[in-house]
Amino acid sequence: MRIVLLIGSHPRHLFVARQVLATGMVTGIVVETREHMLPTPPTGLGDDLRALFNRHFSDRDMAEQKAFGLSNRLDFDGNMINVTAETLNTPRVREFLDVQKPDLALVYGVHKLNNETLSHVQGRFWNIHGGLSPWYRGVTTLFWPSYMLEPQATGMTVHEVTSAIDGGPIVHQVAAPLVRGDGVHDLACRAVTTIAEEVKMLTTMLADDAIAPATTQHTVGKIWRARDWQPEHLQLIYELYENRIVDHYLNGRFKQWTPNLIHQF
């Protein structure tokens, strides 16, 4: 089976890519250069909020380095191209897909692919989404469950790629293990490491024609937009709950419920 990866350049994206590379089935990779891991605070923030902003993204960087390693390189001798968000949906990428003729195109961490680009993959097309669809579709969806005081809904969804944002039929889902002492970024990293191992199994099952049909999403859920997130949201995480959302949930402080996930095994 031939797999093409379309991945972002952040540590979590490259970590998942390495797990899939270990299958020996990857023939091509498209890497989108993503934004810096330590963004500049927006102008106009007060000193306290600016400090929270810097802490949040510094903690994310450290958590990802600890969970996924320091290397920003992939050990791959095959065909690989680098793109940006602006050059993702261009003839160069479409021609790359035409030449590769993947049985599976696996997407994680790139911007939205338009319909023309989607049409250049004749095999299966899966997206690894950092969030549990349909409850958490869109962006920043490993942060929002903690903000909404439901850390048990922090997880990952593998779904078929369609024109709908994270709305394609679901192949497989995982929820992050809840471990006492974990902050919001530790929890997110656990979600990624969990799906990375299981994606290897999914690709092997697909090669053996052992994948059950994907499950259509019957509810719209919530699409979280980039503009929904504001630095002020960090005050709830860090000041009100001292980045101990997981501990408070395990102690029974928040409403208890378990997401109904779709599994292949």
Q: How far is CA 177 from CA 64, 151, 155, 182, 186, in A?
A: 16, 10, 9, 10, 10
Look up the CATH architecture of domain 3-250: 3-Layer(aba) Sandwich (3.40)
* Residue 55: C-alpha distances to residues 185, 231, 235, 244, 251 (Å): 12, 11, 12, 15, 26
pLDDT of residue 227: 94
Distance CA 179, CA 224 (A): 26
Characterize the bridge pairing of strands 79-83 and 26-32. Answer: parallel
pLDDT at 23 over 90: yes
Tens of pLDDT, residue by residue over 196-223, are 999 999 999 999 999 999 999 988 788 9
Reported as a single tens digit per residue, the pLDDT across 96-108 is 999 999 999 999 9
pTM attached to this predicted model = 0.95
Taking only the tens place, the pLDDT of each residue in 182-202 is 999 999 999 999 999 999 999
- Mean pLDDT in residue range 75-100: 97
The pLDDT tens digits of the residues spanning 233-258 come to: 999 999 999 999 999 999 999 999 99
Q: What is the reported pLDDT for 56?
A: 98
